Amino acid sequence: MTLIKSISGIRGTIGGEPGENLTPLDAVKFASAYAVWIKANSGKSAPKVVIGRDARLSGSMIQALVQNTLIGMGCHIVDLGLSTTPTVELAVPNENADGGIILTASHNPKQWNALKLLNNKGEFLNGAEGQKILDTADAEDFSYAEVDHLGTVEIIEDYIPRHIQMVLDMPVTKVEQIKAAGFKVVVDGVNSTGGIAIPELCRALGVEVVELYCDPTGHFPHNPEPKKEHLADLCAAVVENKAHMGITVDPDVDRLAFVDETGEMFGEEYTLVACADYILGHKKGNTVSNLSSSRALRDVTLKHGGSYFAAAVGEVNVVNTMKEKNAVIGGEGNGGIIYPDSHYGRDALVGVAMFLSLLTEKKMKVSELRASYPSYFMGKKKVDLVKGMPVDAILEEIQTKYKNEDVTSIDGVKIDFENEWVHMRKSNTEPIIRIYTEATSQKEADDLADRFISELEEIAQRHV
């Protein structure tokens, strides 16, 4: 059982001992700390907070705890009920709210839940803001409202349809062309809110939908992370139904992956690549992804005459770099699309509209589109270390050894070689170094990872 406190929120497993898991006491404590911060940040004694949740089994319990705690702190609540992360992000500024909380553990299994915290722009908090909330929670420095100053609740049940309409209204969404294309898709909604939002969006675009696991019961039918090894049913259903493609999302609908017409994965790293290809074809500009994302985005950006920039891992870091570099699109290689003309948050609905628009423009099958992009292969491994070992010193030694290569050190150490790269970063929760590699074949990617595992272990031995 686990409780992880970070600047982006608190997440953990349901049940067990307070302080070690996400128990009712922990939910109340961190909701109270967020209320203290939002009051100070907004300068209001009764700020407005938007709350939405995915469909996981603990969602209604955690929402009741968080929502009533905020009411007890004097906050006014806009309750979206079952929702998606990007829907809540859009609702915060649209409702002139002072912040928002999304109750979701994203791609984690059903025993997990989390409080994801937003500012008044509907964006994730920065490091200093998140740390202040953690400190307030640890100190339990709260004061609750008296009875005449308790908060109120406004229920809005149609925000997913509003979100869909916003996507349809984007100038880059080629609604009539998509309707004319006669697409048929299979949607795996992993029995969460993507099973509501994605089929409804597709039907609004005139797409025939075969639903797979789209009942938002919270009983995830497979590991909810949208990776190849978890999507055998979707791949088979695409072929069985003679569909043009498959679409899948994680439980809170900020990550997006596709399956081609042959039942093969398009590759979640290539979701952003394809969407960027489409946007850059209509609007020249720059792109951003995190250091562990595929080099293919850089290649496509350069092809369109733009510049590519890498950010530290973490959505807030990607967003900050996008703003700094005035990027027209960005995101993460896990299938997260961030389109500033909509909002600064990963949004699978926006990604679906872009991808279908691109298919109508290219007049290609999904497999042909994938074949048109540079082909890279990634490896993801780790080095286990003895607790207390100086991880930073070990990474600094690697950085010094490869100082004549193209080295980036904004988040761990990334070394870009001519035809491959390796990114090494320490875990914030375990005594390990995570190793990400990419090369032009899977063997080369794995070999590169193994090479650096050996080098790191050799350096670590000197620190024992």
As annotated, the active-site residues are 106
Q: Could you tell me the strand order of the sheet in which 76-82 lies?
A: 3-6, 9-13, 112-118, 99-103, 48-53, 76-82, 153-155
* Contacting residues for 445 by C-beta, under 8 A, at least 6 apart: 377, 378, 379, 420, 437, 438, 439
What is the distance between the alpha carbons of residues 438 and 156, in angstroms, rounded to a whole number?
Answer: 45
The distance between the two most distant Cα atoms of the chain, rounded to a whole number of Å, is 66
Contact 66, 175 (CB under 8 A): no
What is the distance between the alpha carbons of residues 182 and 424, in angstroms, rounded to a whole number?
Answer: 45
* Partners of residue 413 on adjacent β-strands: 424
Task: Give the phi and the psi of residue 70 in degrees, each rounded to 5.
Answer: -65, -40
What is the distance between the alpha carbons of residues 290 and 267, in angstroms, rounded to a whole number?
Answer: 17
Residue 147: left (phi > 0), alpha (psi -120 to 50), or beta? alpha
What is the distance between the alpha carbons of residues 192 and 210, in angstroms, rounded to a whole number?
Answer: 16
Instruction: Compute, in degrees rounded to 10, the torsion defined by CA atoms 51, 56, 57, 61.
Output: -10
Q: CB 96: neighbour CB atoms within 10 A?
A: 9
- Angstrom CA distances, 70 to 33, 45, 76, 324, stand at 10, 12, 8, 34
